[in-house]
Amino acid sequence: MLYDFYINLLTMITFLFIMGSIIRHIDFDLSKLERRIFIGVMFGILSIILMLSTIKIVGTSTILDLRNFSIVLASYYGFTVCLITALITIIFRALYYGVNLSALLALCNITATVLVCSYIERRKLSSFKTWVFKAGGAILALLVTISYLLWNVPNKNIVLMYYFLMNFSAAIIIYFFRESIDLSNHKYSKYKAEASVDFLTGLNNVRRFEKLATSLLEDAKKNHEDLCILMIDIDHFKLVNDTYGHSSGDAVLQQLAYILKLNCKQGDIVSRNGGEEFTVLLPRRTPSEAFKIGENIRKSIEDNKFFLLDNKKIKITISIGIAAFPHNAQNLKELLLKADQALYCAKEAGRNKVCYACKLKIND
């Protein structure tokens, strides 16, 4: 019996580590519904494995399994995931063991577990309290069901005691492993986000920019679409730092980043590529559309008053260079070089300008 219990626990713990790794490392190219279906099916498979790995109670003909915990764990991913797991569990239970009184009681037990767990999940309790109420509700529903089935069995109390002790022990062990995995995944997500986000402005950093630009360019080639880039540089930004200090310069960068985001639509990629240089990737935009967006950004910056740390207000301007695939660049290196040359032309033309790279040539 203890060996069977140990195998069940190892199965759940192994599954938790596998699911944690899948969710952490794989970027699903799926919609939210598809993700939920995938996770629900995975927990449904866990439920089936647990039903096939039954634990025989010594001295009785009674067997138990820990399938309810697959539903409890699934509930952390939302009601849809929990419901899918429950449906898979119910259907397999009916097909494998047949439709009888036990199957109907199992249906009631699983339904109660889904409802209790879904209700607790919406209560926004602490992690420990959430698990206690979810696992406690699942164990209570199970004990009520088993009590009814074993009503006339002489050693009913012994069986119930074994059910309770094993489920209670499993709940404690699973809780600590789940917390450890969740903490690890949370730290991983945090460090991953920090590695791709500019710490000062909250925009994409240059590493994230390069990854997104490469991906967008591949999509543009595949779908025969335009991809434009705005390369933006603050005019005379060194003078701001020298005059008002680097802290005030940082405040200017933060406000500029905010204005850039306000002037861009969902799907546009705004990044800080270093120092006072920013970029905006514009998927599926023509050069003329990109030029209009660049002008709107330039005008917004020109009209805005930037607040410094000592409550002083200053005005700044920016220069913008624009390049476009496939009009004047065929790869990312050319796109960046063309945009950089267009930015240089904007600076040479007196700054506070938007320049498009249509007439520029790349010198080998």
Give per-residue pLDDT as tens, 3-58: 777 887 888 888 888 888 887 766 555 567 888 888 899 999 999 988 887 766 55
What pLDDT score does 31 carry? 62
What pLDDT score does 8 carry? 78
What pLDDT score does 362 carry? 40
Distance CA 55, CA 59 (A): 12
What pLDDT score does 56 carry? 63
What pLDDT score does 63 carry? 58
What pLDDT score does 82 carry? 92
Residue ranges of the chain with pLDDT lower than 50? 360-364
What pLDDT score does 358 carry? 65
What pLDDT score does 134 carry? 92
Active centre residues (catalytic): 276
pLDDT digits (tens, 9 = 90+) for 277-310: 999 999 999 999 999 999 999 999 999 999 998 8
What pLDDT score does 364 carry? 35
Query: What domains can be seen in the chain, in order of their start residue?
Result: 2-195 (1.10.1760.20), 206-359 (3.30.70.270)
pLDDT digits (tens, 9 = 90+) for 6-17: 887 888 888 888
